[in-house]
Amino acid sequence: MIIPCIYESQVHSKKTDAMIARTFFNTLRNQIGEENMVYDHIDKMAHKLNPTLITRDDDSGKGIAIIDEKTSIVQNIMDVSHILDSIVTPINIDRIYVKKDFAQQATNIIKELQSMK
């Protein structure tokens, strides 16, 4: 059986996003029944890039320095590379799947909850 995903948080979501997803799930569970849905949470630690690629708040001096061609300012590559920054950021994703028969109702409930912000 294929169950559509009706809600998905961002990849690098914060704890408050997980709380929001959990609130959505609890509301849906009360209204359409837990047997009609699945809650999925992915929590993965960040990649460790040692020794030369480090988080931007590390002050060990082991980072890769780059020079901006326009300004000649020296910076840590982690401060300017969005790709490398995302690699060292933990992955947290929350998803809610609902049986097809209840998907539209569940989507409407989530839209209503989101409009209450």
pLDDT in tens, the chain (117 residues): 789 999 999 887 777 888 899 999 999 999 999 999 999 988 877 666 554 445 555 566 566 777 888 888 887 777 777 777 677 777 888 999 999 999 999 999 999 998 986
**Per-domain boundaries in the chain:** 1-43+91-117, 46-89
What pLDDT was estimated at residue 59?
62
Greatest alpha-carbon pair distance for the chain in Å reads 60
What pLDDT was estimated at residue 62?
63
Calpha distance 2→36 (Å, rounded): 12
Architecture of domain 1-43+91-117: 2-Layer Sandwich (3.30)
Calpha distance 51→60 (Å, rounded): 10
For residue 69, the Cα-to-chain-centroid distance in whole angstroms is 33
What pLDDT was estimated at residue 49?
55
Q: Could you tell me the pTM of the whole model?
A: 0.66
Phi, psi at 34, each rounded to 5°: -65, -30
